[in-house]
A and B are shown apart, each in its own frame.
Chain A
């Protein structure tokens, strides 16, 4: 089994990491770039196929040279075998369409056609959810989105998946598709290992890839647009049909509640709190 996981570096939106300026704009320079959190679900799904069915998991991204560390994170935390970075100036400022074109070319350049390509559900910054499906369209493969769990039949070369219908937990369907196939893992995807032998293998592979992550450069391939034989007019900013007409900051929700500030340190403070709360306690 050869699987590839697509990923993107995004600002680390976790509290304590992310930094905004006074006008509420993200400060990219002060905010670290990390692997898109949803893509980790995709990597876990891919890793599960490796544990159960063997093979190799590659991690691919398009972005600036700094994304190497994002790929290393993927190797260290979710155990990718090798890394591919599609990177040069011509690819910069691409929209989802131009990105999909580039990534699909990257997938086609691999010496062996993948059986499965995994993507996460939306990036934390763009939130379009377009790049995965558009990449799949370029490849002309079947796609299964919102995947919760999957089983592979290597003899029949099929993949059977449980997926959320309309992304809603209230309805789950089981679908089957021939491989090669494109899988979008839902954030609810949880790998399951009910066999001891799988868990033992998981442990072996984890130790192996974590050791490898220290020397990730040895397992990293960087391709530019000439390697992929791509015309600069069709990628990057020039190849992006999307026009961003404007950006409006999200208005802050108005505070409708009246607030009374009580100094709890003052002698009468707690007394006042009790008085205020008494009607609620009484059920009035």
Chain B
């Protein structure tokens, strides 16, 4: 049967920015490239905050690979950047424009359905010219191996396909990366969970409320005590005719605090500070969620195996350090570098060395150091050690610490704008909760506005999403509450005492004893992957074209 397998020079799995960049650069080098995307359309499975950056230091940028990108696929250039430190109704705002502009050629807000769908069209045209092309609604399930070596991919919809290069750009829950044993879902500490609402707002109202021109936009970040002590923060980005408002939390903290992600999002949406931007009418277009790898811990230092290379979220290449949140640009660079590596290796008649070359390029081009900064390894990790963390928290909250905050207000704003200092931020409560709260308490002013927003409840949010329900794609291996109960709260479409979500808390009476169990219904699943980390599951993506379909993303 082997002889009848279809063969392409390269197969790219997933057509987000990483896959699109890889495919475009492969096609540019004349490589016959097949791109397989599991959504009904590229972007229908993708969620971002989302700002996409073009870094001055990056060897590849999205508009370099796709010249009309900003014109056709983005929302607004982001020209203003603020971080708000919140304590109750007191807020202290810092302008972090300098941090944002550091190494930034441009940064635009994006909605992924529009963006990825446009990219896919370009990718199809270019790859078709080299004998390949893009197919949607194909779910790549795993790796095809011959004599133990990776030689291709298996899919639900097509017969197995062989290739000299396999680019796994299949996202944060990459089935290929897990099949290869390169990534896992073991440690909640390695992940963030992001939840977002896209809110409809008239373009003229956006211009007025954010004091920006029609072709400018703003990015606002939020931290402090508005998230019940859960480590993380909020964001608000202006799109053309909508706002992307969301929260991003460390998954371990979310799990520990048994916090409900949708409620934390609501805490942000209903804070008085938001009134000036949201106005009186609140019309939520879409609720979405996504798991985000923390590159400091999860970025694979050697993201390849045989003919397989990992790109973007699939390789953990998502940089989140305090107020810096960059994912898509690194995926683009990595994708293009993987393609370049294959073209180089092929021209030397050593196509099997593509992975090795890709790894070298990631290091030589400085991508790896952005993802896993040495400074974080030394100072950040130190700050995460228990005694140091306890001490820092108490100092910051003490009278001495508070005096320091008052005295150093200008210095603090500069510190927040320093890329060097930001890269050392430890993953503790201090920078995310304690310090912003103290800053707001000591330096902040009370927000007088009244916020009248009442966000939809979880049932309505799920009801507004589009699903083409296929067979259940997640199996709950251990139904005990002890093993999988965290999913009830941590899953963004489940909640305690809510019967319409994925995970439910159940007490079952058997022979006089009561068992505390969890039940699963995958129908409302948004495919974020949270439960793969916090519960005991066998986790796969749904079949091609099945499952949730994001219209905004």
Which residues on A are within 8 Å of B, measured CB to CB? 193-197, 199-200, 203-204
Q: Are A195 and B159 in contact, CB atoms less than 8 angstroms apart? A: yes
For B8, the chain A residues whose CB sits under 8 A away are 196
Using CB atoms, name the residue of chain A closest to B137.
Answer: A199
A247 CA to B287 CA, complexed, in Å: 57
For A193, the chain B residues whose CB sits under 8 A away are 158
Q: Nearest chain A CB to B140's CB is how many angstroms away?
A: 11
The reply on B183 being an interface residue by CB < 8 A is no
A204 CA to B138 CA, complexed, in Å: 17
Contacting A203 at CB < 8 Å: which of B36, B133, B157?
B133
Q: Nearest chain B CB to A149's CB is how many angstroms away?
A: 16
Q: Are B128 and A196 in contact, CB atoms less than 8 angstroms apart? A: no
The reply on B161 being an interface residue by CB < 8 A is yes
Interface centre among A193, A195, A196, A199 (most CB of B within 10 A): A196
Q: Nearest chain A CB to B137's CB is how many angstroms away?
A: 9
Interface digits, B153-174 against A, CB 8 Å rule (1 contact, 0 not)? 0000111010000000000000
For B138, the chain A residues whose CB sits under 8 A away are 196, 199
| Chain A to chain B contacts (Cβ below 8 Å), 7 pairs | A194-B158, A194-B159, A197-B6, A199-B135, A199-B158, A200-B132, A204-B128
Query: Which 5 pairs across A and B sit closest by C-beta, in order of nearness?
Result: A200-B133, A194-B159, A199-B135, A194-B158, A196-B34
Using CB atoms, name the residue of chain A closest to B124.
Answer: A203
Using CB atoms, name the residue of chain A closest to B135.
Answer: A199
For B34, the chain A residues whose CB sits under 8 A away are 196, 200
For B159, the chain A residues whose CB sits under 8 A away are 194-195
Q: Nearest chain B CB to A187's CB is how many angstroms away?
A: 22
Q: Nearest chain A CB to B134's CB is how many angstroms away?
A: 8
Q: Nearest chain B CB to A45's CB is how many angstroms away?
A: 20
Q: Nearest chain A CB to B330's CB is how many angstroms away?
A: 29
A194 CA to B6 CA, complexed, in Å: 10
For A200, the chain B residues whose CB sits under 8 A away are 34, 128, 132-133, 135
A121 CA to B135 CA, complexed, in Å: 31
Q: Nearest chain A CB to B40's CB is how many angstroms away?
A: 14
Q: Nearest chain A CB to B1's CB is how many angstroms away?
A: 13
For B157, the chain A residues whose CB sits under 8 A away are 194
Using CB atoms, name the residue of chain A closest to B127.
Answer: A200
Contacting A195 at CB < 8 Å: which of B6, B36, B132?
B6
A12 CA to B161 CA, complexed, in Å: 43
For A204, the chain B residues whose CB sits under 8 A away are 128
Extra 10 A-B pairs, beta carbons < 8 Å, given A194-B158, A196-B161: A194-B157, A195-B6, A195-B158, A195-B159, A196-B8, A196-B34, A196-B158, A199-B135, A203-B124, A204-B128
Interface digits, B4-26 against A, CB 8 Å rule (1 contact, 0 not)? 00101000000000000000000
For B161, the chain A residues whose CB sits under 8 A away are 196
Q: Nearest chain A CB to B297's CB is how many angstroms away?
A: 36
A19 CA to B159 CA, complexed, in Å: 47
Using CB atoms, name the residue of chain B closest to A194.
Answer: B159
For A196, the chain B residues whose CB sits under 8 A away are 6, 8, 34, 36, 135, 138, 158, 161
For B124, the chain A residues whose CB sits under 8 A away are 203
Q: Nearest chain A CB to B42's CB is how many angstroms away?
A: 14
Interface hits, B155-214 → A, CB 8 Å: 157-159, 161
Using CB atoms, name the residue of chain B closest to A199.
Answer: B135
A199 CA to B161 CA, complexed, in Å: 13
Using CB atoms, name the residue of chain B closest to A204.
Answer: B128
A196 CA to B10 CA, complexed, in Å: 13
Q: Nearest chain A CB to B141's CB is how many angstroms away?
A: 14
Q: Nearest chain B CB to A193's CB is how many angstroms away?
A: 8
For B133, the chain A residues whose CB sits under 8 A away are 200, 203
Q: Nearest chain A CB to B370's CB is how many angstroms away?
A: 35
A195 CA to B135 CA, complexed, in Å: 11
Interface digits, B425-459 against A, CB 8 Å rule (1 contact, 0 not)? 00000000000000000000000000000000000
A193 CA to B138 CA, complexed, in Å: 11
A200 CA to B129 CA, complexed, in Å: 12
Using CB atoms, name the residue of chain B closest to A192.
Answer: B157
For A194, the chain B residues whose CB sits under 8 A away are 157-159
For B158, the chain A residues whose CB sits under 8 A away are 193-196, 199
For B128, the chain A residues whose CB sits under 8 A away are 200, 204
For A203, the chain B residues whose CB sits under 8 A away are 124, 133, 135
Interface hits, B108-163 → A, CB 8 Å: 124, 128, 132-133, 135, 138, 157-159, 161
Q: Nearest chain B CB to A18's CB is how many angstroms away?
A: 28
A212 CA to B159 CA, complexed, in Å: 32
Q: Nearest chain A CB to B9's CB is how many angstroms away?
A: 13
Q: Nearest chain A CB to B233's CB is how many angstroms away?
A: 43
A89 CA to B132 CA, complexed, in Å: 50
A189 CA to B119 CA, complexed, in Å: 34
Interface digits, B32-70 against A, CB 8 Å rule (1 contact, 0 not)? 001010000000000000000000000000000000000
Using CB atoms, name the residue of chain B closest to A201.
Answer: B133
Q: Nearest chain B CB to A155's CB is how many angstroms away?
A: 17
Q: Nearest chain B CB to A92's CB is how many angstroms away?
A: 45
A211 CA to B156 CA, complexed, in Å: 31
Interface centre among B36, B124, B157 (most CB of A within 10 A): B157
A146 CA to B8 CA, complexed, in Å: 37
A270 CA to B517 CA, complexed, in Å: 36
For B132, the chain A residues whose CB sits under 8 A away are 200
A193 CA to B136 CA, complexed, in Å: 13
Q: Nearest chain A CB to B317's CB is how many angstroms away?
A: 27
For A197, the chain B residues whose CB sits under 8 A away are 6
For B36, the chain A residues whose CB sits under 8 A away are 196
Interface hits, B73-97 → A, CB 8 Å: none
Q: Nearest chain B CB to A201's CB is how many angstroms away?
A: 9
Using CB atoms, name the residue of chain B closest to A203.
Answer: B133
Q: Nearest chain B CB to A27's CB is how many angstroms away?
A: 36
Using CB atoms, name the residue of chain A closest to B36.
Answer: A196
Interface centre among B34, B138, B158 (most CB of A within 10 A): B158
Q: Nearest chain B CB to A151's CB is how many angstroms away?
A: 14
Q: Nearest chain A CB to B300's CB is how many angstroms away?
A: 28
Q: Nearest chain B CB to A115's CB is how many angstroms away?
A: 25
Q: Nearest chain A CB to B296's CB is how many angstroms away?
A: 37
A194 CA to B135 CA, complexed, in Å: 12
